[in-house]
Copies of this chain bind each other. A is one copy, B any other.
Amino acid sequence: MKVEIIAVGSELLRPDFRDTNSLRLTAGLNAIGLGVSFKTVVGDGESDLARVFRTALGRSQLVLCMGGLGPTEDDRTRETLAKVMGRRLVFHKEIRDGIRERFKRRGVPMSASNLKQCYVIGGAEVLENPYGTAPGLWLDTKRHKIALLPGPPREILPMFENHVVPRLAGIGRGLMIRRVIRLTGLGESAMETRLKPVYPALPAGVSITTLASPGDLAIHLIYEGAGPGEAAEGRLEELDRAIGRILGRWIYSRNGESLEETVGALLRMRGRTIACAESCTGGLIGHRLTDVPGSSEYFLESAVVYSNKAKTRRLGVETSLIDKHGAVSAAVAKAMALGIRRTSGADIGVAVTGVAGPGGGTARKPVGLVYIALAHAGGATVLRNLFFGGRAEVKFQSSQKALDLVRKILTPGSGKVL
């Protein structure tokens, strides 16, 4: 069964529109085992809207349409769908009485424009709307199930839960289970090449989608099919293990957790504390670590030492070292890591210094050159990196690499463990 969500409204085609309704509906559909195949956004114009309905009825069997049920001139969903389906609109006195009652309670006379909302497509069931004047409609024909729902979130969500979901009982076949593996430290195509052997051997009902952004990769494992749940979970588990064997060293999370959550859990588990010395990341590492509730247990501080003077004064990085090697250098990164560890008293000191761009790059030290250093009881290590992208990407990838180094040093079996 193909499912389509249609959002109607010219305001939805503007650059500042954020769609949240369709996401909530998708979550509700997924929960009963229905995936969405198409999402369409269209304006209020009748001919465009008619086209969209014809297309949807041609390719989808369940159509959820939201918006365009209001009292105003540009609300044309009802009329247009009726035309496309060759059905008439029928006046419902009960709807008018309900709306009139609603206005009366608010001490306002019913507006003439609301009369529009009393017309129902022939053969449709009326879905009650306790939160607004626009009733919903439900059509159940031989080939289609169609819901017309109001646009405002506080109206559509209860209507969907209370009136649409029960009408879909038994339609959603089986289950949809999702698992997200997250990784960092290798490129998208390198991941893909390594994953190649996995695709032909996917367990029945399981599919894979991969998502990439600079410094972060995700593999979504999706099971769609019949129950029971344990069997489905078993298949995802099997695939998860197969992927773990191939990509294990880059995987930081097997259930969608963020890298900062993973690092936080490891620090807590091993009873270690951390402090950061940030130059080009500007505070991003501290910000990410403290996005995790309870991070005060292991995160002591971050010295965002943007100026050279701050590097010297806060962390004891020698002026001569900066003069000799430059602020962006392995030597300074190492001194920063050792300095923050010493002055904070943390078990782990992590330091970042680099050229975030867009300015400030030279032939020898180009934009994207970032040194990351780790200081711990066993000594200190420095890594030279060259990141691509704009300022925001370089900052993010730097924070990602720094956190991943901390993850590795706290993970048994990944070499040197703290």
Chain A interfacial positions (CB closer than 8 Å to B): 2, 9-19, 23-24, 26-27, 30, 35-45, 48, 51-52, 55, 59, 70-74, 106, 108, 111-114, 131, 133, 152, 154, 178, 187-190, 192-193, 195-196, 199, 207-214, 218, 220, 222, 275-276, 278, 280-287, 289-291, 293-296, 299-307, 309-310, 313-314, 343-345, 356-360, 386, 388-393, 395
Contacts and interface: CB of A to CB of B under 8 A. Distances in A.
A301 B303 contact: yes
A298 to B, nearest CB: 10
Given A189-B114, A287-B284, A293 B38 contact: no
A212 to B, nearest CB: 7
Contacts of A213: 152
Given A306-B299, A344-B310, A287 B293 contact: no
A136 B307 CA distance: 41
B291 A199 contact: no
A111 B71 contact: no
A223 to B, nearest CB: 13
A393 B154 contact: yes
A283 B278 contact: yes
Interface of A is mostly: mixed
B39 A190 contact: no
A91 to B, nearest CB: 18
Contacts of A390: 154
B301 A307 contact: yes
Contact of A301 (B190, B314, B359): B314
Given A39-B41, A106-B386, A304-B303, A281 B287 contact: yes
Residue in A154, A296, A305 with the greatest tally of chain B CB atoms within 10 Å? A296
Contact of A131 (B73, B218, B295, B388): B388
A187 B108 contact: yes
A42 B37 contact: yes
Count of chain copies: 2
A383 to B, nearest CB: 14
A16 B209 contact: yes
Contact of A36 (B13, B199, B278, B301): B13
A313 B303 CA distance: 12
A81 to B, nearest CB: 17
Contacts of A391: 291, 293
Contacts of A356: 290
Contact of A212 (B38, B152, B210, B222): B152
Given A41-B38, A212-B70, A293-B358, A24 B16 contact: no
Nearest to A158: B390
A37 B48 contact: yes
Contacts of A310: 275, 300-301, 344
A17 B13 contact: no
A304 B283 contact: yes
Nearest to A256: B16
B309 A300 contact: yes
Contacts of A9: 209
A192 B111 contact: yes
A131 B389 CA distance: 7
